[in-house]
A and B are shown apart, each in its own frame.
Chain A
Amino acid sequence: MGLESIEKLDRRWLFLLMGLLVLGPLIAPIGLPLTVSVPVQGFFDTVAKVPDGSTVLMSCDYDPASRPELVPMTKTAMHQLMDKNCKVVVTVLWPGGPGIVDQTLREVMRESYPAKKYGVDWVNLGYKAGNEAVMVVMGQGIANAFPEDYTSQSTTDYTKLPIMRGVRDYSSFPLLVNISAGYPGTKEWVQQVQSRFHLPMVSGCTAVSAPEYYPYLQSGQLQGLLGGMAGAAEYEKAYGHGLKGAATKGMDAQSLAHVFVAICILLGNVVQITRRPGGAA
């Protein structure tokens, strides 16, 4: 197979190869090694340092399109917070998010923490339109921005949602955990909340948006960062407890796919170089 045949290769063969490379390790895992990077360790350590029993704000700003990357890190973060007996107040700023976020959190609570109760140990305030405006209004009072939770219970009715009794504004939380797929997300939380209210913050985001948030990590505005599926898998490893979530299971396939893309780029460049005047072909 010469360079000419590579040049004329039907791209559907590449799709097929990519599909097989991803499918193979999902059926028969290889178990490639995984190390926890500094930003992920920062995320884990920051959550670990939160005083036991405190109330943490968790904003899950994504929709089903980001499920493979963000749902695993949402689950692990919920595990880590629940292990510390923290109370979790969840908000969603993406219109397509409330359903998948509620399903994910209820799954974690049902399977791992059946004794913990909705409204007492955690609450899902659901979706609110307004992006940055919602973040600013939350600074004046969480209940102002979210008068009702996802199940249409009043957030000022403390008999049904006792968790909200101790929640006033951002000063009620020692930490903001943001799981973000784009706009509105980590960037907006840093701009409107972290810098203005000085609320310590960690972020888990899609891989495609991770490079944009590294400057915030370097400046200390973010205490930790999980970038995409790799970040989620490393976080699962840092958390331990034998947790092998969807992210860890997908990392073999992820690694093989990356090697394949790198080989394709190299071959493509070789073909391009040899086509130049004075090149080999």
Chain B
Amino acid sequence: MSHDFGLWIAALLTLCIFSFLYKDNPFYKFAEHLFVGVSAGYYIVLNFWTVIMTNLWDPLVKAFSNPGTFSPQQGDYRALLLIPGILGLLLFTRLFGKIGWMSRWALAVIIGVYAGLKTTGFAQSDLVAQVQASLQPLWTGSLGQSISVILFTIGLICSLLFFFFSREHKGALGVASKIGVYFLMISFGAGYGYTVMSRVSLLIGRFQFLLEDWLGFK
């Protein structure tokens, strides 16, 4: 059994959380509130030291502490960090009712930048590349591989037709969309299986921690 005080705290808190499986109780509540509080504190401190200090404060101090060293001609644009710094401060104007509208400027920049990044990234990787990869020859020279490609193509077309709502799903369209539903159901089943695996992995991880790290059972 471990002599590490930290491990004991982790093990007891794990058991406190597990106790919820029997029913809600004060031990579970204690562990839950402790987790929320510690997480909030940790993330605030972490973001302060890794974002505010390293990304904003330190470069600004370096840019302005030695007059004349800020030189855009030499590729040093650190002083321009004042702009995102001010935009960041503007976000806090939401706390002051009358000037709260100023936070929208910062939000507009955030939304604009991320919309631009996501749109170009999505277009390149999810639209063009995926459409390109979907256009495959049905006969590849190998029977097994060809069957796989044909199944893929049927699944792709039928699943797309299921989401075509401009015409009633009757006749050929009805049959195709029905086949599409079966393909979608199979993909949901696979997704569910993976989700179960993920959740069971968490349980295994906790049990491995209790058995090996805490109790020393190897």
- Complex-state Cα separation, A216 to B120, whole angstroms: 17
Select B195's contact among A208, A216, A257, beta carbons within 8 Å: A208
Select A128's contact among B50, B59, B152, beta carbons within 8 Å: B50
Contact status A211-B187, CB under 8 Å: yes
Contact status A254-B200, CB under 8 Å: yes
From B202, which residue of chain A is reached at the shortest CB distance? A68
- Complex-state Cα separation, A223 to B187, whole angstroms: 22
Contact status A250-B208, CB under 8 Å: yes
0/1 interface trace, chain A 213-225, chain B, CB 8 Å (1 if under): 0011011110000
Contact status B43-A195, CB under 8 Å: no
Main secondary structure of the interface of B (DSSP, over half): helix
Contact status B196-A253, CB under 8 Å: no
Does A12 lie at the interface of the complex (its beta carbon under 8 Å from any beta carbon of B)?
yes
Contact status B125-A194, CB under 8 Å: yes
Chain B residues with Cβ below 8 Å from A216 are 125
Does A188 lie at the interface of the complex (its beta carbon under 8 Å from any beta carbon of B)?
yes
Mark out the residues of chain B between 196 and 211 whose CB falls within 8 Å of any chain A CB in the assembled complex.
196-208, 211
Contact status A188-B202, CB under 8 Å: no
For chain A, the count of residues having a C-beta within 8 Å of the partner chain is: 53
Does B51 lie at the interface of the complex (its beta carbon under 8 Å from any beta carbon of A)?
yes
Given that A132-B121, A258-B193 are known contacts, is A95 also in contact with B47, CB under 8 Å in the complex?
yes
Does B126 lie at the interface of the complex (its beta carbon under 8 Å from any beta carbon of A)?
yes
- Complex-state Cα separation, A23 to B212, whole angstroms: 12
Does A147 lie at the interface of the complex (its beta carbon under 8 Å from any beta carbon of B)?
yes
Contact status B121-A191, CB under 8 Å: yes
Does A22 lie at the interface of the complex (its beta carbon under 8 Å from any beta carbon of B)?
yes
Contact status A96-B118, CB under 8 Å: no
0/1 interface trace, chain A 111-152, chain B, CB 8 Å (1 if under): 000000000000000111100110010000000000110000
- Complex-state Cα separation, A132 to B50, whole angstroms: 17
From A194, which residue of chain B is reached at the shortest CB distance? B125
For chain B, the count of residues having a C-beta within 8 Å of the partner chain is: 49
Does A26 lie at the interface of the complex (its beta carbon under 8 Å from any beta carbon of B)?
yes
- Complex-state Cα separation, A216 to B132, whole angstroms: 12
Contact status B211-A27, CB under 8 Å: yes
From A15, which residue of chain B is reached at the shortest CB distance? B21
Select A27's contact among B190, B194, B198, B217, beta carbons within 8 Å: B217
- Complex-state Cα separation, A114 to B203, whole angstroms: 32
Main secondary structure of the interface of A (DSSP, over half): helix
Chain A residues with Cβ below 8 Å from B47 are 95, 129
Contact status B207-A22, CB under 8 Å: yes
- Complex-state Cα separation, A27 to B208, whole angstroms: 9
Contact status A95-B43, CB under 8 Å: yes
Chain B residues with Cβ below 8 Å from A254 are 197, 200-201, 204
Contact status A23-B207, CB under 8 Å: yes
- Complex-state Cα separation, A96 to B46, whole angstroms: 9
Min CB distance A204 to B, Å, is 13
Q: Which residues of A contact B (CB under 8 A)?
A: 12, 15, 18-19, 22-23, 26-27, 65, 67-69, 95-96, 126-129, 132-133, 136, 147-148, 188, 190-192, 194-196, 206-208, 210-211, 215-216, 218-221, 227-230, 246, 249-250, 253-254, 257-258, 261
Known A127-B50, A208-B194, A218-B152; 12 more pairs at CB < 8 Å = A18-B203, A19-B203, A95-B47, A132-B121, A133-B113, A133-B114, A147-B54, A196-B121, A207-B197, A228-B198, A246-B208, A257-B200
